[in-house]
Amino acid sequence: MVDDNMDRFGFTISTGRQIDYESNDRSIAEYILDKEPSFRLCIECGGCSATCTTGNFTGFSLRELNILIKRGENDKVRQNLKKCMLCGKCTLVCPRGVNTRNIVVLAKEAFQKSDEYAI
Amino acid sequence: MNKHVVVIGGGVAGLEVAGQLSKAGIDVTLIEKETKTGGNLNKWYKLFPDRRKSSEIKEYLDGITLNRGINLLTNTTIEMFNRNRNHLLITTNGGKELVADAIVVATGFDLFKSARKEEYGYGIYDNVFTSADLEEMFRNGKIALANGTVPETIGIIHCVGSRDEKAGNLYCSKLCCVTAVKQAIEIREYLPESKVFCFYMDMRMGGAFYEELYREAQEKWGVSFIRGKVSEASETIEGKLLIKVEDTLAGRPLKMKLDLLVLMAGMEMSEGGKKIAGIGGLNTGENRFFAATDNHFGSNISNIDGIFYAGTCTAPMNITETISHARAAVVEVIDYLKDGR
């Protein structure tokens, strides 16, 4: 156990950079996969992010969000999701036929429904 | 009476089949829709992995066929198939009737029509070319932009019409990655001052000496490889090509102005092959190529007795594989003809 006073002592606890696969919560990914099976087909080519208007001006990358959702790195995803304008250009580009726009919609929905992430 | 086999298609596979069957003492009629044989081979100047001239392969193929007096019908297509007991009857576009003991379909592939990927601007912007166009430039010994000037920055886009649901092709054409590497090296040879960038989704370097060629492109020729699918190209006011891609390994969108863009067109079932499939009742797969009757043993054998396949009408293949597949077809045909027919 880390002593509650430790933060006053001049030390910080650094959280690991590893994706902790077992501990991570993949319920958001499961929610999306259940309703949009094409989510499985992403090969991380980045076509969606290349064409994305938002991505050219903010840190938004749908490709990156896809993989983070699948790994259960949900905090970063949640902050970024709201940047998407749902224009759907990514869906036109995707060579795998992933319904990318719907993934954003479903991810938002999943976060809304989840107790853990609800505002 | 001597057995007679009709081979449809005078590309690499058809010529190899015709030559080997003829060597085995079988009468062969080779049908070619164009005025001359060679097929897609004629479009290429030099070949991977050793950059030997395609004309050398053509010379070998002509040597075992045309120069040995094979019955060649050029400007000829098939209009009808019929069966008369153990014989297959073929009617050509000229109304000629051929009686065959067996048929080998070697109708090959067509290059993906790059204009279909409108977002890359082939046929819209002057300086977007295909891999086949570039071969033509190599043959002419001159790589130039539409206005005659020499390009300094060249981009090569992989997977144009391959692994692309939007193009209706889920499969990998297998040869475009190594063709991109070969052509990148050749551009650097012709234009030592140029910079070449390959945009890829995955580098599929599975063939013999492919990986070595990839290394050579990096090590000796300084070709840059950027992992990301180009989403679109547009023309700038100064006539350059502006591409948009995500540099997926850097995790950032990337834009780049290029002088010239080369599209690595994939392979599709040929129009001729589709027509034969229709009139012959031959099974094709989801990828539209002829379907094997068995994935391990039956890639030369069709669903119709006496009709066999050779080469890229069944799947994308390089020339080495095409020659092997053609020879395998010959084994099947000889076996079939021996069978008391």
Domain termination site, one of B238, B266, B294: B266
Same domain? For B143 and B206 the reply is yes
What is the predicted pLDDT for the residue at A5? Answer: 59
pLDDT value at A81 more than 60? yes
Q: Is B268 helix (H, G, I), strand (E, B) or coil?
A: strand
pLDDT for residue B340: 59
CA distance B166 to A95: 6
Query: Which of A50, A92, A97 faces B230 most closely, judged by CB atoms?
Result: A50
pLDDT at residue B218, as a whole number: 98
Q: B128 and B231 in one domain? A: yes
What are the chain A neighbours of B230 within 8 Å (beta carbons)? 47, 50
Same domain, B221 and B319: no
In this predicted structure, the answer to whether residue A118 has a pLDDT above a threshold of 70 is no
pLDDT of B3-39, one tens digit each?
A: 999 999 999 999 999 999 999 999 999 999 999 999 9
Stronger pLDDT, A48 or A12, i.e. the higher one: A48
B238 in the same domain as B288: no
Same domain assignment for residues B214 and B230: yes
Domain boundary pick from B207, B236, B266: B266
Note whether B246 contacts A95, CB cutoff 8 Å. no
Residue B244 bridge partners (DSSP): B232, B255
Q: Answer yes or no: are the C-beta atoms of B89 and B82 closer than 8 Å.
A: yes
CATH number of the A25-113 domain: 1.10.1060.10
Q: Are B87 and B66 within one domain? A: yes
Examine the domain organization and report whether B215 and B230 are in the same domain: yes
Quick one: which of B132, B217, B216, B143 has its CA closest to B175?
Answer: B132
Instruction: Choose among A43, A49, A51: nearest Cβ to B232.
Output: A51
Query: Region A77-100: what's the mean pLDDT?
Result: 95
Q: Rounded to 5 degrees, what are φ and ψ at B296?
A: -105, -40
Average pLDDT over residues B194-216: 97
- Which tens digits make up the pLDDT trace of B109-138? 999 999 999 999 999 999 999 999 999 999
- Compute the distance between CA of residue B74 and CA of residue A97 in angstroms, rounded to an integer: 42
Substitution target in A40, A43, A49 with the highest count of B β-carbons within 10 Å is A49
Instruction: Examine the pLDDT at A65 and tell me if it is beyond 70.
Output: yes
Digit-coded pLDDT (tens) for B52-86: 999 999 999 999 998 888 999 999 999 999 998 88
Q: What pLDDT shows up at residue B110?
A: 98
What is the average pLDDT value for chain A, to the nearest integer? 89
Res B321 pLDDT > 70: yes
Give CA–CA dist B292/B308, Å, rounded: 10
Judgement on whether residues B274 and B259 belong to the same structural domain of the protein: no
| pLDDT of amino acid B85 | 85
ipTM for the predicted complex comes to 0.86
pLDDT interval class at A9 (50, 70, 90): low
> Cα-flanking dihedrals φ and ψ of residue B338, to 5°?
-70, -25
Average pLDDT over residues B320-331: 98
Number of domains making up chain B:
2
Q: Are B251 and B108 in contact (CB under 8 A)?
A: no
Is B286 found in the same domain as B334? Answer: yes
Nearest CA among B109, B34, B26 for reference residue B70: B26
For B215-232, the DSSP string reads: HHHHHTT--EEEES---E
Q: What is the pTM (predicted TM-score) of this model?
A: 0.93
A95 contact residues in B (CB cutoff 8 A): 159, 163-167, 201, 229
CB contact under 8 A, A47 and B248: no
Domain encompassing residue B241: 114-266
Question: Contact A117/A111 with Cβ under 8 angstroms?
Answer: yes
Which residues does chain B have within 8 Å of residue A47's beta carbon, measured at their own beta carbons? 228-231, 246
Confidence of residue B253 (pLDDT cuts 50, 70, 90): very high
- Please tell me if residue B116 touches chain A, with a CB cutoff of 8 Å: no
Same domain, B76 and B137: no
CB contact under 8 A, A44 and B164: no
Cis bond leading into B49, ω under 30°?
A: yes
CB contact under 8 A, B248 and A63: yes
pLDDT reading at B222 higher than 90: yes
| Residue B341 pLDDT greater than 70, yes or no | no
Q: For B288-292, what is the mean pLDDT? A: 97
Count CA atoms closer than 13 A to A112's CA, side-chain side: 9
Quick one: pLDDT band at residue A114, thresholds 50, 70, 90?
A: confident
CATH of the domain at B216: 3.50.50.60
Q: Give pLDDT, residue A119.
A: 55
Q: Do B121 and B253 share a domain, yes or no?
A: yes
B186: Cα separation from own chain's centroid? 19
Give the model's pLDDT for residue A11: 72
Q: Which of A63, A94, A97 sits opposite B246 (nearest CB)?
A: A63
The pLDDT of B98-110, averaged and rounded, is 97
Query: Which pair of tokens denotes residue B142?
Result: 């001159």
Same domain for B131 and B250? yes
pLDDT at A6: 53
User: Pick from B163, B232, B245: which is nearest to A95 by CB?
Assistant: B163
**End-of-domain residue from the set B242, B266, B290:** B266
Q: What is the mean pLDDT of residues B268-277?
A: 98
